[in-house]
Amino acid sequence: MHGWHLQSLELRGRTAALARMEAAGAVFLGCSFAAGAESDLRSRGALIFPFLPGVPFDSYRGRLYTGAELYAGVKTSTYEQTLDARVYQWTLRAGAHPGLDATLATAMHDHAIGSALDELLGNTLPGTSTAARGGLAGRKLVGVMGGHAAVRGSKEYDDAARLGRLLARSGFVVTTGGGPGAMEAGNLGAYLSAHDVGALDGALASLAAVPRFRPSVSRWAAAALAVVDRYPRGTANLGIPTWFYGHEPPNVFATGIAKFFANSIREAVLLSRCTGGIVFLPGAAGTVQEIFQDACENYYAAPEAVAPMILVGQEYWEKTLPVWPLLQRLAKGRGMEGHLHLVETPDDALAVLRRPVGPGL
């Protein structure tokens, strides 16, 4: 087993098989063993990472989260009792200077989530069989970035949902920051994209009854879960949130939720996986940060690695938060210049993604 990494496996029924194998150089992370098997493996050279006490999450989980998992119990209790809330409270107690156990737990967790996302996207080791690759292998991810402040029932929210629907129906895997506002709307539109437009219109109307996650995340989440219950098999799409912004709850419409502790890792993962391009809706500091982080990657990227950057809302990005003029100056003469676009509507954004690369609008 030299060089093997075994993660989050139930091995209590595999004691005899493990005893027959050479254990030196194997690494076990968060696996379950029958009595005596763990000490035997250690004595024969295996490295075993145990479950850490007092940690309310699985540091070695082998899959992404779902909304149902993060919000389990919210319909009969309160958000404060859910896994998502308990993990966030744990991060607050750990504080700015966490102990070694907390540091190890969060680092291993984020590594495991990144691995699970790569597996889903088919980013596996060379030689991996087609059957073992993830369900989204070969699919093109397009990011939808925007502010958390877009409330349900607003034009901004409805436009983001329409964008998510258009992208998903065109074959893209919609990927957002996984939070509320425009992010939730983008995931919602993608989730319901296989249904007729009346399903989305009905969902938008019902969600508008609970426009914000404050003062009650419980009511906000319950309204969304009711939509999922009505349409239990939605189109695959992704959300990549973070407990660093734990006061902003994750939305339930992403079928796969890659939630990280370290926001820097989360941002890098989110932007790097969206090789099909990123659509930036109106937002504030977080969205502006993502725009220029993406711009920096495109600025230094090889020409074939530059992905489209599409800003939606000419008035907003030229005058309200005038990042567009700076982007144009930054891109002048660079490989990214032809990949910058400023458009007005979700339909315009989709049109850009469908056509060959050309000069910015």
**Model pLDDT, residue 126:** 52
Average pLDDT estimate for 80-104? 91
How far is residue 85's CA from residue 315's CA, in Å, rounded to a whole number?
38
**DSSP string of 177-220?**
--SSTHHHHHHHHHHTTTS-HHHHHHHHHHHTTS--SSS-HHHH
Domain identity same for 81 and 225 = yes
Domain identity same for 256 and 147 = yes
Of 254, 276, 298, the domain-final residue: 276
Note whether residue 340 is domain-resident: no
Domain identity same for 44 and 65 = no
CB 250 within 8 A of CB 259: yes
Domain identity same for 100 and 242 = yes
Task: Give, in degrees to the nearest 5, the angle at Cα 274 between 270 and 280.
Answer: 80
Name the pLDDT band for 361 (thresholds 50, 70, 90): very low
Note whether residue 30 is domain-resident: yes
**Model pLDDT, residue 138:** 92
**Model pLDDT, residue 358:** 45
Domain identity same for 62 and 193 = yes
| Percent residues over pLDDT 90 in the chain | 88
Of 231, 256, 276, the domain-final residue: 276
How far is residue 189's CA from residue 204's CA, in Å, rounded to a whole number?
10
**Model pLDDT, residue 109:** 96
9 phi/psi in degrees, rounded to 5: -110, 145
Name the pLDDT band for 99 (thresholds 50, 70, 90): confident
CATH number where 211 lies: 3.40.50
Domain identity same for 76 and 215 = yes
CB 258 within 8 A of CB 64: yes
**Model pLDDT, residue 95:** 78
* 339 DSSP assignment: G
131-187 pLDDT per residue, tens: 455 799 999 999 999 999 999 999 999 999 999 999 999 999 999 999 999 999 999
CB 113 within 8 A of CB 87: no
296-331 pLDDT per residue, tens: 999 999 988 999 999 999 999 999 999 999 999 999
- CA 153 vs. chain centroid, Å, equals 24
Task: Give, in degrees to the nearest 5, the angle at Cα 107 between 105 and 108.
Answer: 65
The total of structural domains in the chain comes to 2
Domain identity same for 187 and 101 = yes
**Model pLDDT, residue 333:** 94
Q: Which domain holds residue 168?
A: 53-276
Domain identity same for 97 and 116 = yes
**Model pLDDT, residue 130:** 46
Name the pLDDT band for 248 (thresholds 50, 70, 90): very high
Q: Which residue shows structure tokens 């996302």?
A: 117
Of 26, 50, 74, the domain-final residue: 50
Note whether residue 355 is domain-resident: no
Q: Tell me which of 50 and 150 has the higher pLDDT.
A: 150
**Model pLDDT, residue 360:** 42
Note whether residue 284 is domain-resident: no
The pTM of the full predicted model, rounded to 2 decimals, is 0.91
CB 258 within 8 A of CB 191: no
Domain identity same for 254 and 207 = yes
Note whether residue 300 is domain-resident: no
**Model pLDDT, residue 53:** 82
Domain identity same for 40 and 58 = no
Domain identity same for 35 and 72 = no
Residues in the chain: 361
Name the pLDDT band for 353 (thresholds 50, 70, 90): very high
Q: Is pLDDT at 355 greater than 90 in this prediction?
A: no
Note whether residue 224 is domain-resident: yes
Q: For 333-341, which contacts have Cβ atoms below 8 Å and span 24 or more sequence positions?
A: 334/299, 335/298, 335/301, 335/302, 335/303, 335/306, 336/295, 336/298, 336/299, 336/301, 336/306, 336/309, 339/277, 339/298, 339/306, 339/307, 339/308, 339/309, 340/309, 341/308, 341/309, 341/310, 341/311
Domain identity same for 216 and 245 = yes
Q: Other C-beta atoms within 10 Å of 293: how many?
A: 15
Note whether residue 297 is domain-resident: no
CB 231 within 8 A of CB 199: yes
**Model pLDDT, residue 125:** 54
Note whether residue 295 is domain-resident: no
